[in-house]
């Protein structure tokens, strides 16, 4: 029996007021660990460009890269609900290209939904991808792919006028066919209003507790990131120092010839070393 989580399962959780835990993850190893937890949704975010590749924004993530890591996450977490992030220029250049790229995530990587960082200019894209049979999560509020235009991010919908605009945009996204919303960096009061008035699943990222679920990135949850993190981020472990300590322990044992030891080495079968020594002696 297929135990894979579906959008129907998530909507049931919403109706029953059960919160949904989502994590942004980029690799097979972490996904495999997540598959052994109560996390229901995994987003393969284009923030992988920053956390895996070391870029200072999400913009360098390519379609091929995103498809490859989404497929890896699916292999690691076969039963989770997988959302794939549409990277920069994967949907902005035209409807046909957007539909094709969204389809790649489903057909090649096993994603069940694609996320599109959407302004009002892309309502036709949301509709086209949805009409093509691919579930869409519309990402509103702070949109990291917009960094080149705005220069720096700040909290969204902190005034009444801004809030009305975002509430209207959320409604437009749902009317265009979005099956879910991700709201990032938005005033908690506004996100709660949107969640109450929407029929679709609403996931919050730094947007307060009033959403149907929450998402954080795996490296932040594990305490692997060093330096500044967003105000809304929270670490549930401190694995950075522990990881550094493990690597240093390995280095020390290698330097002191303590690793590998006999237990961590392969060995010839009994009597074979003597035969080898004789063969070498005979050849010499």
pLDDT in tens, 97-109: 999 999 999 999 9
Q: Is the per-residue pLDDT at 209 higher than 80?
A: yes
Between 193 and 283, name the one with better pLDDT.
Answer: 193
- Tell me what percent of the residues of the chain surpass a pLDDT of 90: 91
* Average pLDDT, integer, range 23-30: 98
Q: Is the per-residue pLDDT at 112 higher than 70?
A: yes
Residue 229 pLDDT grade (very low, low, confident, very high; cuts 50, 70, 90): confident
Q: Is the per-residue pLDDT at 1 higher than 50?
A: no
The reported pLDDT for the residue numbered 231 is 86
C-alpha to C-alpha distance for 231 and 221, rounded to whole angstroms: 13
pLDDT in tens, 62-83: 999 999 999 999 999 999 999 9
The reported pLDDT for the residue numbered 149 is 59
The reported pLDDT for the residue numbered 64 is 98
CB-facing half-sphere around the CA of 234: CA atoms within 13 A: 6
* Average pLDDT, integer, range 40-57: 96
Count of C-beta atoms within a 10 Å radius of residue 118:
25
Q: Is the per-residue pLDDT at 40 higher than 50?
A: yes
Residue among 118, 120, 113, 119 nearest 136 (CA): 113
pLDDT in tens, 145-196: 876 555 566 899 999 999 999 999 999 999 999 999 999 999 999 999 999 9
Mean residue pLDDT of the chain comes to: 95
Alpha helix (H) residue ranges in the chain: 7-15, 28-34, 48-51, 63-76, 95-109, 123-131, 147-150, 160-176, 188-197, 218-221, 239-255, 272-283
Phi-psi region of 185 (alpha: psi -120 to 50; beta: other; left: phi over 0): left
Residue 29 pLDDT grade (very low, low, confident, very high; cuts 50, 70, 90): very high
What backbone phi and psi angles, to 5 degrees, belong to 211?
-80, 175
Q: Is the per-residue pLDDT at 219 higher than 90?
A: yes
For residue 185, count CB atoms less than 10 angstroms from its CB and return exposed for 0-12, middle for 13-18, buried for 19 or more.
buried
Q: Is the per-residue pLDDT at 119 higher than 60?
A: yes
For residue 151, count CB atoms less than 10 angstroms from its CB and return exposed for 0-12, middle for 13-18, buried for 19 or more.
exposed
Residue among 151, 100, 98 nearest 122 (CA): 98
Is 171 catalytic? The answer is no
Count of C-beta atoms within a 10 Å radius of residue 83:
26
Pick the catalytic residue from 184, 242, 255, 263.
Answer: 184
Domains located in the chain, CATH noted: 7-237 (3.20.20.60), 243-283 (no CATH)
Give the distance, in angstroms, between the CA of residue 39 and the centroid of all CA atoms in the same chain. Answer: 12
């Amino acid at each position: 029996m297929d135990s894979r989580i579906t959008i129907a399962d998530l909507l049931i959780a919403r109706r029953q007021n059960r919160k949904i835990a989502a994590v942004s993850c980029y690799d097979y190893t972490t996904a495999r660990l997540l598959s052994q937890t109560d996390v229901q949704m995994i987003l393969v975010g284009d923030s992988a460009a920053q956390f895996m590749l070391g870029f200072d924004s999400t913009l360098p993530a390519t379609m091929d890269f995103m498809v490859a890591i989404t497929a890896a996450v699916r292999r690691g977490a076969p039963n989770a609900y997988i959302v794939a992030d549409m990277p920069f220029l994967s949907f902005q250049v035209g409807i046909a290209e957007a539909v094709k790229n969204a389809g790649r995530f489903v057909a090649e990587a096993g994603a069940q939904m694609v996320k599109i960082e959407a302004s009002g200019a892309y309502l036709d894209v949301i509709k086209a991808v949805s009409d093509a049979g691919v579930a869409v999560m519309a990402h509103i509020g702070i949109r990291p792919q917009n960094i080149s235009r705005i220069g720096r991010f700040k909290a969204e919908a902190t005034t009444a006028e801004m809030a009305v605009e975002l509430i209207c945009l959320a409604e437009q996204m749902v009317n265009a066919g979005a099956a879910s919303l991700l709201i990032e960096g938005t005033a908690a009061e506004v996100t709660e209003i949107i969640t109450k008035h929407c029929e679709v699943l609403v996931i919050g990222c730094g947007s307060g507790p009033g959403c149907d679920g929450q998402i954080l990135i795996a490296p932040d949850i594990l305490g692997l990131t060093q330096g500044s993190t967003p105000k809304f981020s929270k670490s549930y472990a401190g694995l950075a120092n522990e990881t550094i300590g493990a690597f240093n322990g390995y280095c020390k044992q290698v330097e002191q010839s303590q690793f590998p030891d006999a237990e961590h080495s392969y060995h010839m079968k009994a009597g074979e070393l003597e035969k080898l020594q004789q063969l070498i002696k005979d050849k010499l």
